Structure 1
Amino acid sequence: MKAMFRKARIATSALAAAAVVGLLAAPAAQAAPAGVANPDFESGASGWNTFSLPFGTGIITDDPALPAHSGTWKAELGGHGRPGMDRITQQVTIPALRVPVLTFWVHIGTPTPATFGYHELTVEATAPDGTPYTLASRTNKDSGSGYQQVTVTLPSAFYSSTEQKAVISFFSVDDAANKVPFLIDDVSMAYRLKMSRPFFPPVLLKP
């Protein structure tokens, strides 16, 4: 009888542990209930706020001279050949008890002429209290062929027990040394469960 009791306790503890591990091992990423609007820019500037100084408009473009990652439209920041700044922003909704993960594709054009100068792209997320957090940055020294995927997890300031808003922004600053555009396309947000260490119930053994 004691042996049967011991086996039952071990089986119960094993099932409980398996359930916890199974829960944590389940797919963590979930479809965004309120993701990025117009993530591939195929609807032009819809869903995005744009700012360009002193160049005016034209940040989101279907210019075939610089192909998009997918489709025909993309955001083109910088590369004007004179000092200035470009910025695109969008407010997103972060569900309660979810860790937000930002993914985007970036292509940094080859400098023309091939001198370094100063050209920088900064990706930021602004928390509800107005604090900006730098998620990623690139310069003209990172130029290369083709698009590169960038995935970054937002810091703990964007994790909350209640739903909250955040502003995602892509911001470029460049000088007149050369024309180096930063191309942004296919921006997406995923929301993951916060991972924690599994809890294994103690196994109680009786003699």
Structure 2
Amino acid sequence: MAAANNPSINRAQIAQLVRESLRRHVQNGTSPQASQGPNPLVVNISARHCHLSQESVETLFGKGHQLTPKKWLYQEGQYAAEESVTLIGPRSRVISNLRILGPCRDFDQVELAATDAISLGFKVPVRNSGDIAGTPGCMLMGPAGFLEMNEGVIRAAPHVHMAPEDAAFYGVENKSFMKLRVGGDVGVTFDRIFVRVDPSFKLEVHIDTDEGNACGFSQDVPCELIK
């Protein structure tokens, strides 16, 4: 810390040196400093759900229908809607009460865990949200009609939302990858956590139900992001 006594180094440079030192400790596994970043790390399991356009909502629920928030999610402005649909898979097997997440988007997308896809007869790729070209389609049924999706069924890649200050702390960029170390009795490290950076984001990792079960995740299990 002798550099802190050097009058030629200003406060911002000292802060940068401290951040670099913390990152080195995290990368070496010597201290869980990820929790001491600018924002607390939250890890949540994302259960199967769908995102729909306003046009598709009206096809399924009637002309002019607007989604109704049921539960607000951790990310600002995102919610689980009161509305749900029935998904019909290629083997004519169904998932009822598939929750819609709002607000509406400009594309339709269904996110399933691997076991969901297998039970329905899907072979779905691991994709980032919005990357739906060449993915399987499905049929959705609502109280007012049917929606045939030609594509859009995916297994969502595990990912982390973060603000620019979080990205600076961890030393990562948008669309890069990190690792998530999950403690507990099983002790699993996910090697490819896709990074999404936006000023509106809160620091949150999303894994699906299969991934959560595999690593024995619960809110009491310590988790650490690693570059």
TM above 0.5? no
- Structure holding more helix per residue: 2
Bigger Cα Rg: 1
State the TM-score, normalizing by the size of structure 2: 0.27
State the TM-score, normalizing by the size of structure 1: 0.28
